Amino acid sequence: MKKALAITLGVVTSIGGFFDMGSIVLTGQTGARFGFSLVWVVALATITIVLYAEMAGRIATLSKRPVFDVVRERLGPGFGLANLGASFLINVITLVAEIAGVAIAFQLVTGVTYYLWVPLALILAFFVLWKVKFERMERAVGILGLTMLVFAVAMWRLHPDWSSVLHQTLLPSKPSSETLASYLYVGVALFGSAITPYELFFYSSGAVEEGWNKSDLLSNRISSYAGFIFGAVLSVTAIGVAALIFQPRHIGVHDLSTIALGPTFVLGKLGLAAFLIGLFMTTFGATLEVTLSNGYIVSQYFGWPWGKMLRPKQAARFNLVMIVSLLIGAFIVLTSLDPVAVTDIAMVFAAVGLPLTYFPILVVANDREYMGESGNGKVLNVVASVFLVVICIIALAAIPLMIWTKLGT
Amino acid sequence: MKRFLASCLVLACASCVAPAYNDSQFASKAAKTAQDAASAIETARLALQLDLRHGLPEQPIDSSMSDQEDALGSVAGTFSSVQPPQTKASDDLRNSVLDLLDAAQSHMEDARIALRRGDVPAALHALDEAEPQAQKLHAIAEKY
Amino acid sequence: MTRDIFDLDLDILDRQMLDSAGVPCGNVDDLELEFVDGPNKPPVVTKILTTPGALGPRIGGLTGRIITGIWRWFHPERDPQPVAIDWKDVVIVDFAVHLSVHREEAGLSRGEDWVRDHIIGKIPGA
């Protein structure tokens, strides 16, 4: 039973984390503009997050220490603080996108402008964080988030020419109407949307809090592999649906209401309903996770009590950080920035922030003092180092590409 | 003081809409505008086609229509405020794009009005009439 | 990781502290070393320094001064000193530094208590 729960944790993180506002927007935009030619980025991102989530889970299990604890110790208090600032900022921008996603889901159902739904989304998030047992919430989000499988069903029902899809995926070529710079820029944002940093903060803190031990290592591995691969399948099919429906019609994706047309095209009312429920659940789940992540990283840096299982009074500063994060996020949504544009930018910054977290994880996963027999093997180290280099290149390229392409236009 | 304020205003306007310096820069702005406008028309059309086919709930389609109408209005507004270079080619391009945008916008308005009156076929018909403009806009987007 | 030899930088500094009740009560922000056995013998760790008042000077520079400044601003005392914990109050060092004292005795619960009493506790349902 406990194992099953641990696996749920992994799978849910992947739905609320891998497939959230960032993925919904970026997969739609990518498919519509670049067809299947950027699917390889999702594959690259999936391997990266599978490797590093498994390491973070293993570190949390054996050393009883969540990611940010390790970050401060390995980078020292100064770099740790800079990292904290950057991660906090990236989380807040991500939170803006997620809250906007929740509010737009309400708008699409009711027709009332999403600004008015922001306070409701805020109160709902606050209520769940404050009052609802986390496991219950996790299960609800996980099960209802599965409605996003509508993308997989839609892709299959579209009966694409699979050999051509495979060809475009495996031998990608940039559409001639797009510049190389925008191809790479959107690729970076897509990468960031698949592995936003908050996922690992959330995942490893959950593992520490639930008191995983050595016997949980296997379920850790299963959940991180299965969970993120599940998320990746959703992402790829979402790209596919956009590529098959929007690209031939020269439709660009600038609104969530456009993305909703994909599943509707194939499955009618049912597809639309499934998408709207999934949109709400995944963005709401991600709102909670990002908010918790901000509480985690600040508390862990300063050594305060933290945890979603503690009552708010037992972790007052942790809860204060979460409330402040939610309020800042909601305030920015209300400044009437275009939510989809904010999402794009958030995902690019997510990509920029990755090495800050991933490097210390790789170092500690090799520390025999903590890890004992369960430290990284040689093969894993080589592979993980190669991917770390890839992450660093992506992070370094992100901002110049952003300026060069004028935000990808 | 007045002169200072005036120059501030000029600077502020200039920073909002970057001027186009030569024909090719202006043409690429026109192409981007045409592409986004054609996309808005096609998106709204797709939404209405699906509505007609599946009898969808009112709200999501209404949201989609207003999103696309806003998008069309926004690209038209941005493009009309770009200062074109002083050549006949640019002036002609500007006029033809703006004409197409004007026509597309009025069809979009017709479609929205019909949709809100519950007449989906009429709304779709209005957008079908915008199809020639969408084709021409798309052609401009491809050409430059 | 219970052993006799510690690398102060890697194993003690920046580590989570847990009080006698097992509740997190800050990190090891700095250490105080003294030449207990005379100037020719190696120094001995006598105290753990914690709270932002110890963190700021360790980070140094403008950032450090800002941290110390904020901490002083919120602190009720006029000339606050960082909290120091005797090394003899350390029970064991593993994934965390376990203390034999309660956080309230050690003066480590001030910030948490303040936020609880003045902000979080006032919100209904806390």
What does the domain layout of chain A look like in residue ranges?
2-404
- Evaluate if residue B90 carries a pLDDT over 90: yes
The answer to whether residue C2 sits within a structural domain is no
Contacts of A11 (CB under 8 A, 6+ apart): A142, A223, A226, A227, A230
Establish if C57 belongs to a structural domain.
Answer: yes
CA distance A164 to chain C (A): 53
Nearest CB partner across the interface for A69, out of C16, C23, C126: C16
- The reply to whether C1 falls in a domain is no
C106, C111, C112, C118 alpha-carbon torsion, rounded to 10°: 130
Q: Which ipTM value was assigned to this complex?
A: 0.92
User: In 3-state terms, what secondary structure has residue A342?
Assistant: helix
Contacts of A369 in chain C (CB under 8 A): 1, 11
CB within 8 Å: A254 and B58: no
Distance from CA of B2 to the nearest CA of A (A): 31
Contact A108 B60 (CB under 8 A): yes
**pLDDT score recorded for residue A187:** 96
In a domain, C23, yes or no: yes
Q: Is C93 helix (H, G, I), strand (E, B) or coil?
A: strand
How many domains is chain C partitioned into structurally? 1
Contacts for B52-59: CB closer than 8 Å, 24+ residues apart: B52/B120, B52/B121, B52/B124, B53/A268, B54/A264, B54/A268, B54/A269, B55/A269, B56/A264, B56/A268, B56/A269, B56/A272, B57/A269, B57/A272, B58/A111, B59/A108, B59/A109, B59/A110, B59/A111
Indicate the pLDDT class of residue A343, thresholds 50, 70 and 90: very high
A376 CB burial (10 A radius; 0-12, 13-18, 19+): buried
| pLDDT of amino acid A1 | 60
Distance from CA of B3 to the nearest CA of A (A): 32
Contact B63/A257, CB-based, under 8 Å?
Answer: yes
Contact A100, A21 (CB under 8 A): yes
Give the domain CATH number at C18: 2.30.30.240
Average pLDDT over residues A320-342: 95
Token pair, residue A247, equals 């690209």
**Strand order across the beta sheet in which C30-34 lies:** C30-34, C44-50, C83-86
Mean pLDDT for the stretch of residues A312-321: 94
Residue range(s) defining the domain that contains residue B93: 2-143
Q: Which of A264, A275, A279 has the highest number of chain B CBs within 10 A, making it the mutation to test binding with B?
A: A264
Assigned domain for C76 exists:
yes
Question: Between A255, A269, A409, which is nearest B54 by CB?
Answer: A269
* Residue of A232, A319, A318 whose CA lies nearest to A50: A232
CATH (residue range A2-404): 1.20.1740.10
Q: Is residue C45 part of a domain?
A: yes
Opening angle at CA C38, ends C32 and C39, nearest 5: 80
Residue A149 tokens read as 């499988």
Which residue does chain A place closest to B59, by CA atoms? A111
Task: Report if residue C38 sits inside a domain.
Answer: yes
Q: What's residue B20's pLDDT?
A: 55
pLDDT in tens, A354-405: 998 899 999 889 888 778 788 888 899 999 999 999 999 999 999 999 988 8
The pLDDT value given to residue B9: 46
Q: Round to whole Å and give the CA distance between A14 and A149.
A: 13
- Residue C48 resides in a domain: yes
Retrieve residue A37's tokens: 């030619």
Q: What is the pLDDT of residues B49-80, one digit of tens each?
A: 999 999 999 999 999 999 999 999 999 999 99
> Which pLDDT belongs to residue A245?
98
Chain C neighbors (3+ CB pairs < 8 Å): A
The mean pLDDT values, 10 residues at a time, for chain C of 126 residues are: 64 91 93 86 90 93 94 89 93 91 91 93 85
Q: How much is the average pLDDT of B79-98?
A: 93
Q: How large is the C-alpha radius of gyration of chain C? A: 16
Nearest-by-Cβ selection for C125 from A131, A302, A369:
A131
Decide if pLDDT at B10 tops 60.
no
d(CA B23, CA B76): 19
Q: pLDDT category, A141, cuts 50, 70, 90?
A: confident
Q: A317 vs C112: CB contact, 8 Å cut-off? A: yes
Q: What is the pLDDT of residue A139?
A: 73
- The domain that holds B44 is classified in CATH as 1.20.120.660
Give the structural domain span for C92. 8-122
Q: Are B50 and A261 inside 8 Å of each other by CB? A: yes
pTM metric for this prediction? 0.91
Q: In this model, does residue B14 exceed pLDDT 90?
A: no
CA A370 distance to own-chain centroid? 28
Q: Model confidence at B18, in pLDDT bands (50, 70, 90)?
A: low
Does A122 have pLDDT greater than 90?
A: yes
Average pLDDT value over all residues in chain A: 90
